[in-house]
Amino acid sequence: MGRITRRRFIFLSGGAAGALALAACGSSNGGGGGNAGVQQPQSTGTAAQAAQGRTRVVFWSSWGGKNGEALTKLVNDFNAAQQGIFIENQFQGTYEETAQKLAAAMAARQVPDMVSLSEVTWNKFSMNKSLQSLDDYFKKVGLDPQDYVESLINEGTRQGKVWWVPFARSTPLFYYNRTLFKEAGLPDRAPKTWNELRDWGKELQKLGKPDLKAYAFTNAKNYNAWHFQGNVWQWNGNYSDKNLDVQIDGPNAVAAGEWLRKFVHEDKLGYMAPDQSVDFTNGVCAMTQQSTGSLGGIATTAKFDVGTGLLPEQEKFGCPTGGAGLGIIAAAPDDRKQAAVEFLKFLARPENVTYWSKQTGYVPVTKSAREAPEMQQYFQQNPNFKVAVDQLPKTQPQDTARLFVPNGDQTIGTGLERILVNNEPAEAVFKGVAEQLKRDAQEVKGQVKDLGLS
């Protein structure tokens, strides 16, 4: 090898870097489209063979594992069923990771066309006006939004327009160990109220199993603020109102928290489990509350008879919705938006809603699917799943403090941990939580008012 002097080396490497930069400029100029400066993320790489000559829709989704396979099948079916549109399904990690990627993609003006967004993350993009209102497209492609379950489509409707379409929706569900209930001589149903639950817990204690606890709550990381949303409503309280005025330190929410504290620390009937599904399936607790989406997993891993029921009431019934829906990005080109809505129409067909629901455990999101014979038959075989679906019309969107306040979910959740683990009085804990929420709410309060939530 010839001798390379330092100067020559620097000259060479500098030249190489310059050439790289030039090449890069060339490719980025060549790849841009004419869509108001929006460059699609698929501008690099080659298109799938099947996509040639079709309108392509880049769909960022968040489902891996078995659910990811179910979604892939639906996408492939759609792509095979017609010639005009090609859906390119790109998995992007969890709901949170997908939202982070979308935020970065928007800053770089390289957005996808359709995205799955959770009941929490979609609010951020709704506030920033990044989503497309869909009513006109619904009319164009002939998709009837009235077919979606009312409580679910209402959640994605703001200022009289639909922005977010229900797809993978879940709710909390009450689970109980039927075998243990029978042993303790309890009726074969979920307790109607929290006070009944406490009485039954005492009956279960009499079984004399030292390791058995009546009921498992969970921690902040496992979304205990989602589950406790139901409790707060059941006690006639709220985390906050539509204008993002914080109310978690109000008397009713505090009463809900106090009931929890006494149940755990005085009655010794409840405790906090990092993953209540694991404890429940191992018979460590006799009752718990977990997502409807976990029903399949719990039913297959439990070595006993699993029963489900509506959430317990106190002053009244209360149950939040959860999971994810689909949104279409406002900056996407018009033909792609319409193509994406065509795909939504396909997903809303009864047979596809039924397939997705059966594969994943998410609740059927359309009325037509719920009435379909195939779904009815499935209900008969899986009465536990029917309970989840029956509960659905009684659900409501969560309070703004958990949905809009940055880190609101964790602020409430860690407060709950202090009650469940440290035995701190709910009043003091929620006072601190409320102060924190109010501080963090400042930056988004104006935007939430602009949304005009009803």
Residues that bind another protein (CB under 8 A): 3-6, 9, 24-25, 27-28, 31, 39, 41-45, 58, 60, 62-69, 90-95, 97, 100-101, 104-105, 107-110, 112, 168, 170, 275, 277-278, 281-282, 284, 291, 293-294, 296-297, 300-301, 303, 323-324, 360-361
37 or 160: CB nearest another protein: 37
Q: Is 40 exposed, middle or buried (0-12, 13-18, 19+ CB in 10 A)?
A: buried
Nearer Cβ to another protein (257/364): 364
| Cβ proximity of 343 and 114 under 8 Å | yes
Tokens of 75: 């996408």
Element (H, E) at 409: helix 408-422
User: Minimum distance between the CB of residue 215 and another protein, rounded to whole angstroms?
Assistant: 18
Residue partners of 73: CB distance under 8 A and separation at least 6:
355
Between residues 4 and 80, which has the closer beta carbon with respect to another protein?
4
- What is the closest distance, in whole angstroms, from the C-beta atom of residue 70 to another protein in the complex? 11
Rounded Cα distance, 348 and 368, in Å? 9
Nearer to another protein, 93 or 145 (CB): 93
Least gap, CB of 221 to another protein (angstroms): 11
For another protein, which is the closer residue by CB, 157 or 177?
177
- Residue 59: count of CB within 10 angstroms of its CB: 22
Name the residue nearer to another protein (CB basis): 247 or 291.
291
CB contact set of 152 (below 8 Å; sequence gap of 6+): 166, 169, 321, 325, 365, 392
Q: What's the per-residue H, E or C state across 352-400?
A: HHHHHHHHHCCCCCEHHHHHCHHHHHHHHHCHHHHHHHHHHHHCECCCH
Closest separation in Å from C-beta 261 to another protein: 26
Q: Which is nearer to another protein, 45 or 160 (CB)?
A: 45
Report yes or no: 435 and 275 within 8 Å, Cβ to Cβ: no
CB of 394 to another protein, least distance (A): 21
246 DSSP β-pair partners: 240
* Closest CB 135 distance from another protein, rounded Å: 28
CB of 96 to another protein, least distance (A): 10
| Segment holding 157, helix H or strand E | strand 157-158
- C-alpha span between 188 and 309 (Å, rounded): 10
CB of 277 to another protein, least distance (A): 6
Q: In angstroms, rounded to a whole number, what is the distance separating the alpha carbons of residues 363 and 379?
A: 11
CB nearer to another protein: give 30 or 142.
30
